[in-house]
Amino acid sequence: MSTRTTPTPTRTPTIRHSTSALSRCIEPTDEHDFVERVYEREPLVVARAEPGRYDDLLSVDDVERILCSGGLRHPAFRLVKAGERLELGDYATDVPWRPAAFTGTIDVPRALSAFADGATVVLQALHHTHPPLAAFCRALEEELGQPVQANAYLTPRDSQGLPVHHDTHDVFCLQVAGSKRWLVYEPALELPLRDQRYDPELGEPGPPVLDLVLEPGDMLYMPRGWLHQALTSDIDSLHLTIGVNAYTWLDALKGALDACADDVEFRRSVPDDGAPAVDLLAALGKRLAPEDVVRRRRSKLVRTRRPVFSGGLSELRAIDSLTVETVLERRPTVLSELDDGALVFEGKTVRVPEHALPELKAIAHSETPFRAVDLPGELDDESRLVLLRRLIREGFVRRSAADD
């Protein structure tokens, strides 16, 4: 592997947050420059004098409220400590209940005691449970076209959570509070797959290519595979790791191969000599046209997203008051596609009669608030309301703030 120079931290003044989730991580680095020069290639450090930059995503107060509520259950959280093996039973318990116990529930006093003794609290999969991060990750998924996840790490002073390791997804480390020293090393395995976790047998880390301290508002991007470890100073640290799970060429090949199931030649048994009767590689290659690869990647992303359903109960209760003059909008957190006239999103498929397709397509493609009365198509008012009520229940449409 060629020798890389140490990226130079960029010090910037306080700036107004971009509406782009990616820009919010990397600015003032240009998005195009990041994708073409940095992404999957080398780390990027952006240093900012901007405490509070990420507090709206997850603050120290948020973490304390989540941690001390007593409602956390494994695997939504875990405790880790470099050099020690912490068992779940050391800080969690089963709460008796009928008909079934709440298993793996945090024992708050013991968890706090472990934290005081140097254990890092990891809040996992916050993109599923914390609405601000759910919305942020969904925006980043739309921009990158890849699945995104979020964890938080609360590390006590003078401590280390994890030993040297690599991640199997790209990460944006967003420093929320306190400070953390990061040591970053060249990969032992470049761009590992999800099941290719770090093992010292792959090679011990060499000299660090980065030795830096992240302060509140700073960001460190690392491609998957870059070895790293992090340590706190004399103050506690809270940072977010926003992970990007890449759709690789191996995934693209598997998707193309799955698409070959409709070709009888791929369904034939393999003969004793192992020689196919036709050129199967050529047939597979036709399934790898760029537009098909992009379509399958987008389809997989769209069909596997979980709903981000903030305000869903209020929307449901307000359905009966819906009129053709009510200002509505697509939920900004929904990723969707129109597949042969059907609306596909979040594991759902909404089909409508052919005569309702103009309205459905207009709603699916809307980028601004709209009213039922203004939609194209030939549906009468009541039919339009029937369609919109269904889309509200499914979580695709909601009332717009523009109607307040």
| Domain 312-403: CATH class, spelled out | alpha beta
Quote the pLDDT of residue 9: 42
- pLDDT < 70 stretches in the chain: 1-18, 403-404
Instruction: Identify the pLDDT of residue 404.
Output: 58
Q: Where in the chain is the domain with CATH 3.40.366.30?
A: 312-403
How much is the pLDDT for 14? 37
Looking at residue 18, its pLDDT comes to 58
| Residues of each domain in the chain carrying CATH 2.60.120.650 | 10-61+103-244
Q: What is the pLDDT of residue 403?
A: 66
CATH 3.10.350.10 fits 10-61+103-244, yes or no: no
Mapping DSSP onto H, E and C, the string for the chain reads CCCCCCCCCEEECCCCCCCCHHHHHHCCCCHHHHHHHHCCCCCEEEEECCCCCCCCCCCHHHHHHHHHCCCCECCCEEEEECCECCCHHHCEEEECCCCCCEEEEECHHHHHHHHHCCCEEEECCHHHHCHHHHHHHHHHHHHHCCCEEEEEEEECCCCCCCCCECCCCEEEEEEEEEEEEEEEECCCCCCCCCCCCCCHHHCCCCCCCEEEEECCCCEEEECCCCEEEEEEEEEEEEEEEEEECCCCHHHHHHHHHHHHHHCHHHHCCCCCCCCCCCCHHHHHHHCCCHHHHHHHHHHHHHHHCCCCCCCHHHHHHCHHHCCCCCEEEECCCCCEEEECCEEEECCEEECCCHHHHHHHHHHHHCCCCEEHHHCCCCCCHHHHHHHHHHHHHHCCEEECHHHC
pTM of the predicted protein model:
0.92
